[in-house]
Amino acid sequence: MQEAVQIFVNGISGVFIGLAVLYVVIRINKLLAGKEPDKKE
């Protein structure tokens, strides 16, 4: 049972941490991509 509790806690926190990191990645990605020059007609 102790192992199941551990997996439960690690799992939920792991998913939230994983997606929180992805949130940061999206922010950094936006900075890296910068502003695209306007496309000329």
Partner 1 sequence: MVFFNNMGLLAVTPGMVFMWIIGLILIYLAITRQYEPLLLLPIGFGIILTNLPLSMLMEPGEGLLWRFYHYGIEWEVIPPLIFLGLGALTDFSALLSQPRLIFLGAAAQVGVYVTFFIAYSMGFSLQEAATIGIIGGADGPTTIYLAAKLAPQLLGATAVAAYSYMALVPLIMPPIMKLLTTDAERKIRMKKGRKVSAREKLYFPIIAAMVIILLVPASAPLIAMFMMGNLFRESKVVERLNETAQNSLMNIVTIFLGVSIGATMNAEVFLRKEVIFIFFLGLFAFMISTASGILLAKFMNLFTSNKINPLVGAAGVSAVPMAARVVQKVGAAADKRNYLLMFAMGPNIAGVIGTVIAAGIFISILK
Residues making contact with partner 1 (CB under 8 A): 1, 3-5, 7-8, 10-12, 14-23, 25-30, 32-36
The least CB distance from residue 30 to partner 1, in Å, is 6
Give the whole-angstrom CA distance, residue 30 versus residue 38: 17
The least CB distance from residue 4 to partner 1, in Å, is 5
**CB nearer partner 1, residue 34 or residue 41:** 34
Give the whole-angstrom CA distance, residue 41 versus residue 31: 26
